[in-house]
Amino acid sequence: MLRTFDLVLIGVMTAAAAVTYTIKHRAELKLEEVRRLEAEIKLEKDTIDLLKADWALQSQPNRLERLVNAYNSELQLQPTDSTALAHARELPMLKSQVPPPDVTEAKAGDAKTGAKPGAATVAKAQPIRKPAAREVEDEDADQIETGALE
């Protein structure tokens, strides 16, 4: 004859077995996901290595010289003068860095001239401010960013 305590123990053991099975199943799913992600990472690394090798092949000086000689009449390439290169601090401001126009001055000018609020007026051209020159270390002053991979 089974006692109540025995039935409770059987229920607890069954619940423990179900929980253990559930945890094992979730762990196996996570392990599969980890293996899939590792395979994707390996594929991406292999792709990067392939692209680096392709870039090295495409940018070989001998190959580029042959292409320049073959297409020189069409391209009409000329050597770049060293004075044609500019540093980033010498370039004009980006559109995102240009200060917005002062709307209050334009409205005040309309009130003085008697122009209607919706009428178009010609505003004086404001000079664009150049960004403050950045302090560059002497060793970085001659470096030009080329977008190389390394």
pLDDT tens profile 7-20: 999 999 999 999 99
**Quick one: what percent of the chain has pLDDT higher than 70?**
68
State residue 59's pLDDT score.
92
Residue pLDDT, tens place only, 33-45: 999 999 999 999 9
State residue 127's pLDDT score.
61
State residue 150's pLDDT score.
46
Residue 76 to residue 109: CA distance in whole angstroms: 53
Where in the chain are the domains? 1-70
Top-confidence residue, 89 or 148? 89
Q: Please classify residue 87 by burial: count the beta carbons closer than 10 Å to its beta carbon, then call 0-12 exposed, 13-18 middle and 19+ buried.
A: middle
pLDDT band at 60 (very low <50, low <70, confident <90, very high): very high
Average pLDDT over residues 105-116: 60
pTM score of the predicted model: 0.44
Output DSSP code: residue 80: P
Residue 120 to residue 109: CA distance in whole angstroms: 12
Average pLDDT over residues 98-111: 70
Instruction: Give 100-140 as a DSSP string.
Output: PP-HHHHHHHHHHHT--TTS--PPPPPPPPPPPPPP--GGG
